[in-house]
Chain A
Amino acid sequence: MTDIRAILQTDLVTEPTRHVLTERLNAPRRQPAFFTADEFALLRAICDRLIPQDDRSDAERVDIAGGIDERLTENKSNGWRYDEMPPDRDAYQLGLRGINQSAELVFGKPFVALSTEQQDSVLKAVQALDSPDSAWQTLPADRFFEELLAEAVENYYSHPLAQAEIDYVGFADAKGWEL
């Protein structure tokens, strides 16, 4: 795996690039400001299934849920929203509630208390629109899942440690590339 911290210190990386990547590498884990503590714990548990990081120490884990909380706190948009979806803040609150209700209806326990296999089966059902209807009356489950997954993936793979995991070195382009 690429040693990101070492590469960032070299002149292969431009100053603006070094600046943003170092800041992201060193960002502390976030205390939620938009989500309640329970919602945030649930969101973290979901993100851990979408993009597992079991092989990382706590200090090295990419804070995927923290990035979502930060965006929603600032009420920032990525420029578009499916018309059938409520505004992002409402969507996340409804969606988290929906996932928890699905867990309760199928397994009789909240999502965070389930085994990882059970958690995965809840998420699969949400994605495939196979969840119990009653949990998803005001929100299209598949769209919510798509949005959540896309945001989680963007947050994760924007992080230098995740980029190292896939051997991506495109940021070290100060001298350009030979083809």
Chain B
Amino acid sequence: MPINLPVIQPGTQARKGPFARRPEDAAESLRERTLELAERGEWIVQRVPEPHLEVPTRSSGVKRVPLGHTWHHKSCGQCGHIPGYSTAIFWLHRKLGLEYEDPRDQTSCTAWNYYASATANQAAQAAVALRNFAAAHQSGYYPLIHCATSYGHYKEVRAEMVHHKALRDQVREILKKMGKPLVMPEEIVHYSEWIYAVRHEIAKRKVVDLSGITATVHPACHYYKLVQEDAIYDPDVYGGHRTAIVTGVAQALGVTVGDYSTWFDCCGFGFRHILVQRDFSRSFAVQQKIEAMRDEVNPDVTLTHDTGCVTTLDKSQFAAQAHTGVKAAIPVLSEAQFCALAMGAHPYRVCQLHWHAADYRPLLEKMGIDWRERWREFEDDVARLKANPGTYLTWDDAG
């Protein structure tokens, strides 16, 4: 006979109502500390320009996200291996009529190398970050960070610069030698926070029916685990228990988001591992993430918002076919690419999907996008470029 044990005793039901964090658990406000240091003349603070939107954060605060006039701190991984990622971000700005700057005076944040090899140090990393911030400030545009690792690492740098005067003094001296001021942005903003902020504008411009699409979301570790207080958390998304980035965008577009048990897990990128110990990255990505998504949700696509995650989850699936005997093909896109496709962007001229390894074509078919015709158009572009050395595809060509 089954034993009937009550799980909840009368009078001890869980408290109902919206989730709210305890004020005493709020993390230190690095934004406030940044502004205080500006008042003391330690550095210049670059203020978020108007117009901006305020979005909710983990610490029950708000974050100011600039809409336009943004300086695009590009990502070495995105621009190198998944170029449709950055191209889609730029295309979205253009379609929303928002001005941006695509600079040549920006270096990599160098954090990939730093985490992978430890052949840099705190002062070098901070000086690279602050040199890039100074370049943005000198241009008059506000930095929007494409890569989640750059974003997370820059927030580490901000915390270190706020806490350690010796480091501030050292970096100020280095920048002085190159004629640059010490500038800290008021907010450090990731591109996915910008997409989250403008998600309803994107949804208004949607030209594709996405009601039949199911997605899983992989949030990037360095977005919400590193210096986490100002990552975006929305009470309407998972009750505020998980970051709302990407999920909130997919929901705004009318996509069904499927939950799965390894949501919190890293993709397995590992920095050094993805290049010189790929067995680890490949095994982790497939066994912990892709197979869990497939078995528990069977999504049409998995969406993420970082270079390393797209690379690891996308490229690792080819070898898994030999391992399992089953084609574990879940297309992997950034939400920027997905939003662009939803707004009618060309899958090759804009979203550059031919650089991806996992088969994305069934997803396009389900979205009603004629990938054969689009590929034929792209092949015509390529033939034209081949016949005319020194020519390039332009934004006018991309539509």
Partners in one complex: no
